[in-house]
Amino acid sequence: MSNIQNSTMMAVAISATVGVLTAATLFIYNKILEEKKQHTAMNNKVDQVNRKVLELQAELNALRTQQKQQRNRRKKLLGSRQTVSDATDYTATDNETDIDAYSVAGTDIGDDEFFDCSDSEGGAGDMDNRTAAVNGVKSSLASLDEDRKDKALQTEIYYKLKSLASSHPNDIEIIWRLARACHDCSTNVSDPEMQKEFIFEGITACEAVLGVPHADLYKWYAVLVGLRGKFMKTKEKIMDGYLFAEYVEKALELRPEDSTIQHLLGRFKYEISTLTWIERKVAATLFAQPPSASYEDAIVYFKRAESLAKEPFLQNKLYLGKSHIALGQYKEGVEYLNQIYELPTSDDEPQILKEVKELLDKYSGYLS
């Protein structure tokens, strides 16, 4: 066989081999993608199942609480009925009759019917019931506030508050806590779609009761509106910035001593200062008076937040540092950043510490 034929056959063989290898590679790659998709889908289903279980647990706990309250009310009502029965029995004896015209004893009216009838009459018993229900909700909210200190319980808290909100849709104390829980859950998940779901749910819950002046309601509504910006286009993001500022300022009017609210207004001033030229042009077309702020303005609010904070406010110190650095005041900025390292930190603040380290690595040389 000639060299040309050998070369031709070798080329054909190589081409065939390459073709087979390419096909095999594509097949394996597609299988990997398919398995990866199945794995992702399975993880999402597991997350959904876990969330459903927690939701059902919250509903069950709410039902148990409701049943306990009903039993307590029933005991009070039965005790009152016994007192009335004793009194009417005495009267009946005086009148030489064995029939108690006011007692339900010996009739086919059960305890449930007596309970339901009492509820519908709106008497003193009904007032007691409402008072007991209000006290029960207050007790539940106080317990949930305490549980929030444990980050592992935040998803469970969200479902409990969601259950309470379904029973008390106009209770501001429940709604603002639900908004806060939506914020907590959005920061605890990595999936952007789940983050978006929590954020938008909290915003919707707040918007249903925004007509009621309440500092915490306005504060957490503003926080969620601020988070919504990362899912919006430039135009909507800028409009949300104005909405954010509007409700932070409303919250500040109601509670000027709140360090978090002061910090949020400082953040608004800081973010306006960082707007790009294009973003400022878009803002100018949307509003007669486009947003205007400076890093100096932001520092004023950050310093107020610092003075009002009852415990170390790491994020506020971070933004004080960033604002001074943006103004070229590196010494002041680095001093605030160093303060963060000198304070005790928790495991749920890695992003703050990471940013602080990056800034110190870059600007610590300006101290010498």
pLDDT digits 0-9 by tens, 275-307? 888 877 877 787 766 677 899 999 999 999 999
Rounded to two decimals, the pTM is 0.65
237: CB partners within 8 A, 6+ apart: 229
**pLDDT band at 344; cut points 50, 70, 90:** confident
pLDDT above 70 (res 36): no
The Cα–Cα gap between 30 and 230 comes to 32
Mean pLDDT estimate for the chain: 75
The answer to whether 190 touches 85, Cβ cutoff 8 Å, is no
pLDDT at 277: 82
pLDDT at 162: 96
From residue 114, how far is each of 25, 96, 102, 119, 175 by CA, in Å? 76, 27, 13, 9, 34
> Which amino acid, 348?
D
**pLDDT band at 128; cut points 50, 70, 90:** low
**pLDDT band at 167; cut points 50, 70, 90:** very high
- For the chain, the helix, strand and coil percentages under 3-state DSSP, each to the nearest 5: 80, 0, 20
pLDDT at 292: 79
Name the more confident of 211 and 38.
Answer: 211
Report which DSSP code applies to 290. -
pLDDT above 90 (res 193): yes
pLDDT at 179: 98
Name the more confident of 328 and 29.
Answer: 328
Widest pairwise Cα distance in the chain? 136
pLDDT above 90 (res 173): yes
Report which DSSP code applies to 148. T
